Structure 1
Amino acid sequence: MNKPSLLLIPALAAALGLFSCSNRSGSESAASTDSTQRYIEERLAGYAPVRLTADLSGLTDNERQMIPLLIQAAQIMDDLYWQQCYGKKDSLLNAVTDDKTKQFVRINYGPWDKLNEDKPFLPGVGPKPLGAQFYPADMTKEELEKANVADKMGLYSLIRRDSTGKLYSIPYHVAYKEPLQRAAALLKQASELAEDPGLKRYLQLRSEALVTDKYDPSDIAWLDMKNNTVDCIIGPIESYEDGLYNARTAYEAYVLIKDKEWSRRLAKYVAMLPELQQGLPVDAQYKKESPGTSSELNAYDIIYYAGHCNSGGKTIAVNLPNDEEIQKSKGTRRSQLKNAMRAKFDQIMMPIAKEFIDPSQLSQVQFDAFFADVMFHEVAHGLGIKNTVNGKGTVRAALQEQSSWLEEAKADILGLYMVTRLVEKGELPGPIENYYTTFMAGILRSVRFGAGEAHGKANMLAFNFFQEKGAFEKTSGGHYKVNHDKFRAAINELSNLILTLQGTGDKAQVEALQKDKAVVRPELQADLNQLQQKGIPVDIVFEQGPAVLGLQATASR
C-alpha cells in the first residue's frame, strides 16, 4: 500500500528547523532562518498572481452545476500528486508556521524549488530523489533492473519494498484506492449532468479508468467527443516527474471551457500534417511514419489547474493522449489554454522583450505569434518518428529518461518549421520575422524554468545551438537581435539533428548533447539574474475555484 515516505522525516525536520534552534546556537539558527526567508521571498516575487476566470454566460444550468464537481475531482488529483511528488503534505505544511514559506511549499508541492532545478529551500532537506515517490528512496536503477518485479516500467504502478526488503509493484488503483473511488464518484455524478453525449460517455469511462488504471477507452472517447463546451482532462498523464526512467505518470487535472470560435479557426491545420511530414529536413527513413489527421486543434479558457500541471511552471498548451498507438490510429487533441497564455504574455513575456529584445525588433513580439508558436509546438509532437529505425523499439523506450526533454526540443523546432512553411504557403499571416523574434523572447521566458526541467532543457538546446549558428547576436547595448535568415537555417539543422537522434535511439549521444548544450551558460545566467532583480515574474500562480468563478459548490453524493 501507499507507505509513508522516507523523505518525510528529514523534510519535516528541516521545516521545523526554520523555527526551532534548540540544537544549534542562536546566531547559526538566525542566519539560517534569515537566509531561507530571503530566498523564499525573492522566489515568491517571481510568481505573478492571476485570477483564473472565464466567461460562463453561455453555459447551461447543468454545465454550471457540473463544474464544481469536476473541480472537486481535480482537487483529489492535487492531493495524489502531492503524494507522488513529496509524500504527505499535511505533515510538512503543519510544521511550517511562516505564511510565505507555506505558500512557496504549496507552489512547489514540497521543499524543492521546481523552477530552480529542484533546489531544496528548507534547511536540512537533501536533493530531490530522481524517482520522486514512485520508488523507494534507497533504490537504484540497477537494483530494479535486476529484480524479478512485474511492471518494472509501468505507467500506473509504484515500486515498493516488502517487509524483507524485496521490491514489488503495486497498481495506482490499489495504492490510492479510497481517493480514486471518491474522484470516480464525482466524475460519475458530473456525467449525469452532461447534456452532450460525447462528454457523458467520456466522463463515465474516465470514472471507470480511475479505479482500474485502464485509460485507453476513455482516451479514445475523449478524442471522439467534438461538440462539448465543458471539458476535463484528469488522471495520471505526464511522466516528467519520474527522473529515473521517465516512465511512471503523475496525477493532474484541467477543467476547461472551449472557445468554439477560436477552435473553428484552428481546425484546418491538422489536415496539412502529412504534407508537412514529408517536407521535414531529414532523410526519408526518419519521416516514414504517417501522422494522424483525425487530430484536433482547440482553444480553451482554463478555469482550474491541479496536480502536476499546476506545479512550478504552469502548462499553457496540452497535446494528448500520450499513448503512441492511439496517436497513430486516432491522432491527438492539441488544446491551447488561451487565457493562461495571455496572462503569461502580458505579465512576463512582454516585460522580458522590452528588457532584452533589440528595440528595432520589439514590435515583432506579438501575442498572435506567441499563440502560434505555442500551438504549433503541440502540433509538432505529431510529426517526426515514434519508433526507432534500427529495431530498438519506441523512441521513448530507447531513450528512457532522456526522451522527454528531447521530445520537447523536437516540438519546439518542428513547430517553427511548421510556422515557416505555413507562412510561405499563405496559410498563416506574415511576416515570418514576427514568429522568429517572438520565439526568441519566448526562449528567454521559458528558460527561466531551469535547465533541470524538460522544457527548460529543450529551450537551452535551442538557445545555445542558435547562438553558435549566428541566428542571433548580443548587441553592445545588451539586447538580443535575431538574424532571421540564419535563424531559419538553424531550424533546419537542429530539426535534422533531433530527428536523427530519435530515429537511432542513441541514448549516449542524447546524454552528451544534453551535457553540452542543454545548459545555462554564465552570460545567459547573468541576464536571467537581471530579470529577477528587476522583479519580472518567472511564472504565474492562480487564485481559482468555484468562488472565483461565481459558482456555488455542488454537493457530492
Structure 2
Amino acid sequence: MKPMLKILLFGSLLPIAACNNNTEQEKKNAPDSLQQYAAQRLAGYAPVKLTADLSALSEKEKQMIPLLIEAAAIMDDLYWQQSYGNKDSLLNAITDSTTREFARINYGPWDKLNNDTPFIAGVGTKPPGGEFYPHDMTKEELEKSDVKDKHGEYSVIRRDSAGKLIAIPYHQFYQAPLKRASDLLVQAAALAEDADLKKYLELRAQALITDNYMPSDVAWMDMKNNGLDVIIGPIENYEDQLYNSRNAFEAYILVKDKVWSKKLEKYVAMLPALQKGLPVEDKYKKEVPGTSSQLNAYDVIYYAGQCNSGGKTIAVNLPNNEALQKSKGTRRSQLKNAMRAKFDNILMPIAQELIDPSQLRQVQFDAFFADVMFHEVAHGLGVKNTIDGKGTVRAALQEQGSWLEEAKADILGLYMVTKLVEMNELPGPIENYYTTFMAGILRSVRFGAGEAHGKANMLAFNYFEEKGAFTKTQDGHYKVDVPKFRDAMNGLSNLILTLQGNGDKPAVEKLMKEKAVVRPDLQADLNKLQQKGIPVDITFEQGVKVLGLK
C-alpha cells in the first residue's frame, strides 16, 4: 500500500514503557521527549499519493467521486468522535506541527501501531471502549443494567441526568452529520448510470439515518457490473476493545478492476469442498459456506475513518452480519494499488533484511496477493456459531473474538493456498507462498499487540517457531522448512477452529497472553528493521486534486 521515503523508525512497534523485555540498550535509545517520540514514529509512515486510472469510468461516475469524498470526510469526523472525542480541541492544543500530524494519523493522542502508547502529556491510557461508553463505566455495571441494547452495533452508551446507563442509537446521537452524508449519497445516486449502484446508494443513504443497514448490505452484495464502488458507514468493531460490539465509521471509495476481478471468480465456488477438508474434527466444520460470495480487485482512491487510522487496510471482507454471510456470502475486495505499494516499499525491504538469501527469490508479489486475498476468503470458512449452543462465536468470545478471527483468516488462507496449489488451481511452487507468508508475518507483527492483526501474527510467529516451521540461521536470517511449515499450518488451524467452535473465551485469553506476544529475539529483529529505516506503514495524500478532478 505504500511508496516510501528514506526514514528513521522508532523501535519496533512495541512501546518502551509497556514492554517488560527491553534491554538496557533499548532504554538508552528511548526518545528524550514525547515530541521526539512523535517525530520518530511519524517517520515510520511512508507518504503515498493515492491515485488510480479513472479512464474506464464514465463522466457521470467521475462527477460522483467528489460527492462520495465529501460523504467519506463526514465518516472521518465521526470516527474522530468515536476514537478520541473533539478533534479540533486536541489538534488546536498541539503546538508542534509534527506531533499534530502524528495525532491526525492516529485519530487521537495514542499510537495505534505501538499498543496505543500515549504521545501527548497528560492524556493517560486510551479507554478500551473508546468513546462508545462512559469512561467511568465498568463491564459489570453494564451487564447488570437494564439497557436493552447493551452490545448493539449501532448505538453508544451514555448516562442520563440521573446517572443511569442508556443506549442512544447512532442515527440520533450523530443525527446532523449523518443527515448530511445521507443527502450526499442521494445526490451521487442521482448520477449513477448502473441501476444496482443507484439502488445501493439510495438504500445506504436511508441506512445512515435509520441504522437499518441490512437492505443496503443486500443491495451491495447484488451489485455486479458497477465500475465505481463505495463502502461507507459504521462497519468494523475493532475500536471497541471493551466488547468488540460497537462499529466505527469509515469509508472507502473504489474503482473496480474488472479484468482482475474476472480472474478471481472461480475460487468462491470451491469454498464448500475446502471447508470439508479443514484439518479439524467434523463437528467444527459442519456449516456450509455461501458460494454467492464475490472476489473482486479494486484500486482505492479514498480512505476515511477507521480504515485510515494507523495501519492501512489492503483487503476487505464484508458484510460482517453472520446471517447475511450464510445466505449471501461475502464480497472479498482486494485493494490492489495499496497492496502493491506495501509490497514494494515495506515487505520486500523486510525480506531483504531478514529472509535467508537462498529463499529471497521466493518472496513474490503474486504470492503476497494470494496470501492476502485468501485471508479474506478464509473468513467464510470454519464456524460462525459455537457447536454447543452458546450462540455465535463473536458473542461467545466478545473482546477476544476479533484477534482470533484474524488469526483464523491468516492460517486458513494459507491452507486454501496450499490446497489450490495441490489442485493446480494456483501456480506453484508452494515455497513461494510459504516464504512470502513468513515475510508477511514479520511485516504485520510490527502493528503491535494493541491491534487485532498484530496479535494474530504474533501468535502465528510463536506457534510456527515452536513447531520448527522455520529456523534462524547463524547470520540472523529466517529460513522456511516447507514440510514443517505445512504441519504447523494444520496444527494452528485445528487449534483456532476448536477454540472458536467451543466458544472458549478463557482458553483464548490464555492463548493471547502466552503466544500473542513479541519475545526478545524477535524484538531485536524488529529493532533492526527500525535501524534500517524500513517503514511500518503509509499515510495518504488523497482527494479530488490528487485524482485530477474538479
TM-score by length of 2: 0.94
* Alignment match of 1:503 (pick from 484, 501, 504): 501
3-state SS, counterpart of residue 546 of structure 2 = helix
Give the Å deviation of 1:36: 1.3
Q: Which residue of 2 aligns with 1:486?
A: 484
Q: Distance in 2 between matches of 1:57 and 1:378?
A: 28
Q: Distance in 1 between matches of 2:70 and 2:297?
A: 23
Q: AA paired with 1:427? A: E
Q: Distance in 2 between matches of 1:319 and 1:154?
A: 21
Q: AA paired with 2:461? A: F
* 2:455 is equivalent to residue 446 of structure 1: no
Q: Which residue of 2 aligns with 1:220?
A: 218
Q: Which residue of 2 aligns with 1:530?
A: 528
Q: Which residue of 2 aligns with 1:63?
A: 61
1:86-140 Cα offsets, whole Å, 9 max, x none, are 0010001111121111100000000000000000011112110000000000100
Runs of 4+ in 1 over 4 A off after TM superposition: none
Q: Distance in 2 between matches of 1:123 and 1:130?
A: 19
* 2:512 is equivalent to residue 514 of structure 1: yes
3-state SS, counterpart of residue 459 of structure 1 = helix
1:486-542 Cα offsets, whole Å, 9 max, x none, are 000000000000000000001000000000001111111111111112110000100
Q: Distance in 1 between matches of 2:535 and 2:303?
A: 19
Q: AA paired with 2:222? A: D
Assess if the C-alpha contact under 8 Å between 2:31 and 2:37 holds in 1: no
Q: Distance in 1 between matches of 2:264 and 2:47?
A: 29
Give the Å deviation of 1:163: 1.6
Assess if the C-alpha contact under 8 Å between 2:375 and 2:410 holds in 1: yes
Question: How does 1:228-307 map onto structure 2 within 5 Å?
Answer: 228-307=226-305
3-state SS, counterpart of residue 115 of structure 1 = coil
Provide the aligned length of Structure 1 versus Structure 2.
Answer: 521
Question: How does 1:89-488 map onto structure 2 within 5 Å?
Answer: 89-488=87-486
Q: Which residue of 2 aligns with 1:88?
A: 86
Q: Distance in 1 between matches of 2:42 and 2:323?
A: 41
Q: Which residue of 2 aligns with 1:5?
A: none
Q: Distance in 2 between matches of 1:213 and 1:392?
A: 27
Q: Which residue of 1 aligns with 2:42?
A: 44
Q: AA paired with 1:322? A: N
1:228-277 Cα offsets, whole Å, 9 max, x none, are 00000000000010011100000000000000000000000000000000
Assess if the C-alpha contact under 8 Å between 2:406 and 2:456 holds in 1: yes
3-state SS, counterpart of residue 401 of structure 2 = helix
Q: Distance in 2 between matches of 1:175 and 1:333?
A: 30
Q: Distance in 2 between matches of 1:478 and 1:349?
A: 17
Give the Å deviation of 1:150: 1.6
Q: Distance in 1 between matches of 2:293 and 2:420?
A: 18
Q: AA paired with 2:54? A: L
1:277-308 Cα offsets, whole Å, 9 max, x none, are 00000000000000000000000000000000
Give the Å deviation of 1:34: 5.2
Q: Distance in 1 between matches of 2:251 and 2:460?
A: 29
Q: Distance in 2 between matches of 1:452 and 1:77?
A: 23
3-state SS, counterpart of residue 394 of structure 2 = helix
Assess if the C-alpha contact under 8 Å between 2:35 and 2:96 holds in 1: no
1:405-440 Cα offsets, whole Å, 9 max, x none, are 000000000000000000000000000000000000
Q: Distance in 2 between matches of 1:58 and 1:233?
A: 20
Q: Where in structure 2 are there 5+ consecutive unaligned residues?
A: 1-29
3-state SS, counterpart of residue 33 of structure 2 = helix
TM-score by length of 1: 0.93
- Seen in structure 2, the aligned counterparts of structure 1 residues 344 and 33 have a Cα distance that, compared at 3 Å, is closer
Q: Distance in 1 between matches of 2:265 and 2:493?
A: 25
1:441-492 Cα offsets, whole Å, 9 max, x none, are 0000011000121000100000000000000011110101110110000000
Q: Which residue of 2 aligns with 1:25?
A: none
Question: Between the two proteins, what is the percent identity of the paired residues?
Answer: 76
Q: Distance in 1 between matches of 2:72 and 2:32?
A: 36
What's the RMSD between the two structures over aligned residues? 0.9
1:193-226 Cα offsets, whole Å, 9 max, x none, are 0000010000000000000000000000000010
Q: Where in structure 1 are there 5+ consecutive unaligned residues?
A: 1-31, 553-557
Assess if the C-alpha contact under 8 Å between 2:35 and 2:119 holds in 1: no
Give the Å deviation of 1:33: 10
Q: Distance in 1 between matches of 2:79 and 2:251?
A: 10
3-state SS, counterpart of residue 440 of structure 1 = helix
- Seen in structure 2, the aligned counterparts of structure 1 residues 475 and 146 have a Cα distance that, compared at 3 Å, is same
Q: Distance in 1 between matches of 2:410 and 2:482?
A: 17
